[in-house]
Amino acid sequence: AGPSGPKICCLGAGYVGGPTCAVIAFKCPDVQVTIVDLNADRIAAWNSDSLPIFEPGLDEIVKARRGKNLFFSADVDKGILEADLIFVSVNTPTKKTGVGAGFAADLAYVEAATRRIARVATSSKIVIEKSTVPCRTAESMRAILEANSSGDIRFDILSNPEFLAEGTAISDLMHPDRVLIGSLQTAEGRKAQLALADVYAGWVPREKIITMGLWSSELSKLAANALLAQRISSVNALSAICEATGADVDEVAYACGLDSRIGPKFLKASVGFGGSCFQKDILNLVYLSESLHLPEVAEYWRQVVSLNEYQKLRFSELVIRRLFNTITHKHIAVFGFAFKKNTGDTRESPAITLVKHFIQEQAFVHIYDPKVEQSQIEADLTHPDVGTLHQYKNYVTIHTCPYDASKAVDAIVVMTEWDEFQQLDYQRVYKNMNKPAFIFDGRLILDAKKLRGIGFQVEVIGRQA
């Protein structure tokens, strides 16, 4: 006999859908979870020994439940037909053309997924919006589902935004600060809300499962990401003042973070934030504010993204300035290409922007990242907004070892805070570099004093040299 609890299907086997549903299956052996995707290659990878995404702890839980109550399938319609609850966890990239280009979310994938549910379903479903989407998307989904429902089939729509961060996804999912479920404030809406809450209650304390209206729930997700990104831009703005005045941004952040009203987390200065969410969600908020005729509000949030661009540019300029105002035909090692440690994801990684600047100056760039695939780096650096294949072939070399990457280079630029960069033998690194040997710490993770003792010229964000 199979599991006796509700059946869940998830449309979209990506960074959000994959880990989320794997944890549900792991924590609720009673629930049958099927993750489907249009991309058959991605599904094949989920069914193989080498999962399509790297996330600490993910392999173990997938292996523990796969084939028992966790299934990955390219048969989208079968997944829909069998499920009681359907998560919609498809991609929502920023629109590239048309109205709202560069700001608004492209909801074509969400709409296509919703229409497919409406077309295929032969029984009532609870449809759960999991992708980050602008407010009122749930309303559009509801309209599509209702217009396409017939007779005794009903669709209830919930908003259940995911707050996991990459690199810590499994522990975030196992121990969430909160689970948020938005619904229509009707009897049926509350019933659907309860059905989903019962699944999470398999491992999350009830008081952490909070319920509210659909629109509040959708806005809460955008707001949380905007507030987090705003903290980073705030501390990065302070880092520029520190560099100009001799204060130390780590000390300033530490002092501020001790105020319980501020708190210590998310105050680490850096070369800039990346990742698939922050910029996209803030630009969504900007677009929303403008659509609501609130230009001052739009401008406020837009500034968080502008400051992030400024931070990346400032760092590139620092590298060029210190290397005697030219990096043309110099060799630069880039340590880390992922947007943060413990992930192989490069979406919106600040490393892409920095390497783009270096290549435009015709520097030879040597990239080392412990988890990012070479094909991904090539795709990112040959994207039309970044560079050409010709530039990539002439100026970029990918290395599988940090010592090789830094051999005979003029400078090392630390882009990602991988732990291993703290443990390298910097005596050895120094010996093999051109002199003067520069190291630029874009993540404030290295022991600058020790490196100076070895002979390095060290530059750290938020600190005077």
Provide φ and ψ at 123, rounded to 5°. Answer: -145, 170
Residue closer to ligand ADP by CB (options 117, 304) is: 117
Return the closest-CA partner of residue 184 out of 139, 214, 228, 154.
214
CB 340 to ligand UDX: min, Å: 4
C-alpha to C-alpha distance for 110 and 108, rounded to whole angstroms: 6
C-alpha to C-alpha distance for 231 and 224, rounded to whole angstroms: 11
Q: Coil, strand, or helix at residue 6?
A: coil
263: annotated binding-site residue? no
Residue closer to ligand UDX by CB (options 7, 280) is: 280
Residue closer to ligand UDX by CB (options 30, 309) is: 309
From the candidates 9, 21, 277, 401, give the one annotated as an active-site residue.
277
Q: Name which position in 18, 100, 134, 275 contacts ligand UDX (CB under 6 A).
A: 275
Question: How many other β-carbons are positioned within 10 Å of the β-carbon of residue 99?
Answer: 9
Residue 127 amino acid letter: V
278: annotated binding-site residue? yes
The gap between the terminal CA atoms of the chain, to the nearest Å, is: 67
Q: Name which position in 6, 7, 9, 17 contacts ligand ADP (CB under 6 A).
A: 17
How far, rounded to the nearest angstrom, does the alpha carbon of residue 372 sit from its chain's CA centroid?
Answer: 14
Q: What is the DSSP string of 316-361?
A: HHHHHHHTTT--TT-EEEEE--SSSTT----TT-HHHHHHHHHHHT
Contact partner at residue 14 from ligand UDX, ligand ADP, none, CB < 5 to 8 Å by partner kind:
ligand ADP
Contact partner at residue 234 from ligand UDX, ligand ADP, none, CB < 5 to 8 Å by partner kind:
none
Rounded to 10 deg, the angle between the 137-147 and 108-120 helix axes is 30
CA quadruple 425, 431, 434, 436: dihedral sign:
positive
Contact partner at residue 162 from ligand UDX, ligand ADP, none, CB < 5 to 8 Å by partner kind:
ligand UDX
Q: Name which position in 274, 402, 442, 462 contacts ligand UDX (CB under 6 A).
A: 274
Window of 151-159, 197-205, 262-270, 310-318 that interacts with ligand UDX by CB under 6 A = 262-270
C-alpha to C-alpha distance for 37 and 78, rounded to whole angstroms: 12
C-alpha to C-alpha distance for 222 and 225, rounded to whole angstroms: 5
How far, rounded to the nearest angstrom, does the alpha carbon of residue 434 sit from its chain's CA centroid?
Answer: 36
Does the protein bind ligand UDX through residue 183 (CB under 6 A)? no
Contact partner at residue 72 from ligand ADP, ligand UDX, none, CB < 5 to 8 Å by partner kind:
none
Q: Name which position in 27, 95, 268, 330 contacts ligand UDX (CB under 6 A).
A: 268
* Two structure tokens written together for 201: 């209650």
Return the closest-CA partner of residue 108 out of 38, 207, 195.
38
C-alpha to C-alpha distance for 195 and 125, rounded to whole angstroms: 11
Contact partner at residue 38 from ligand ADP, ligand UDX, none, CB < 5 to 8 Å by partner kind:
ligand ADP
* Two structure tokens written together for 87: 């998560």
Window of 82-90, 105-113, 275-283, 400-408 that interacts with ligand UDX by CB under 6 A = 275-283
Q: Coil, strand, or helix at residue 236?
A: helix
Provide φ and ψ at 450, rounded to 5°. Answer: -60, -45
Near ligand ADP in 286-315, by CB under 6 A: none
Window of 58-66, 260-268, 324-332, 424-432 that interacts with ligand UDX by CB under 6 A = 260-268
Per-residue binding letters, 110-149, with ligand UDX (x by CB under 6 A): ----------------------------------------
Name the residue with tokens 């009897």: 187
Measured CA to CA in angstroms, residue 43 lies from 11, 23, 71, 130, 274 at distances of 11, 17, 10, 19, 26
Reply yes or no on whether 401 is catalytic. Answer: no
Near ligand ADP in 91-120, by CB under 6 A: 91, 109, 112-113, 116
CB 116 to ligand ADP: min, Å: 6
Does the protein bind ligand UDX through residue 266 (CB under 6 A)? yes
Near ligand ADP in 32-51, by CB under 6 A: 36-39, 42
Does the protein bind ligand UDX through residue 212 (CB under 6 A)? no
Provide φ and ψ at 268, rounded to 5°. Answer: -90, 120
Q: Name which position in 225, 342, 346, 406 contacts ligand UDX (CB under 6 A).
A: 225
Q: Name which position in 228, 323, 351, 451 contacts ligand UDX (CB under 6 A).
A: 228
Name every residue whose Cβ is closer than 8 Å to that of residue 323 and which is 6 or more positions away in sequence.
330, 410, 411, 438
Q: Which residues are annotated as a binding site for NAD(+)?
A: 12-17, 37, 42, 90-94, 131-132, 166, 277-280, 347
The residue ranges that bind ligand UDX (CB under 6 A) are: 162-166, 225, 228, 232, 266-268, 270, 273-275, 277-278, 339-340
Residues with a known catalytic role:
277
Q: Which residues are annotated as a binding site for substrate?
A: 162-166, 221-225, 261, 268-274, 339-340, 443
The residue ranges that bind ligand ADP (CB under 6 A) are: 11-17, 36-39, 42, 76, 89-91, 109, 112-113, 116, 131, 276
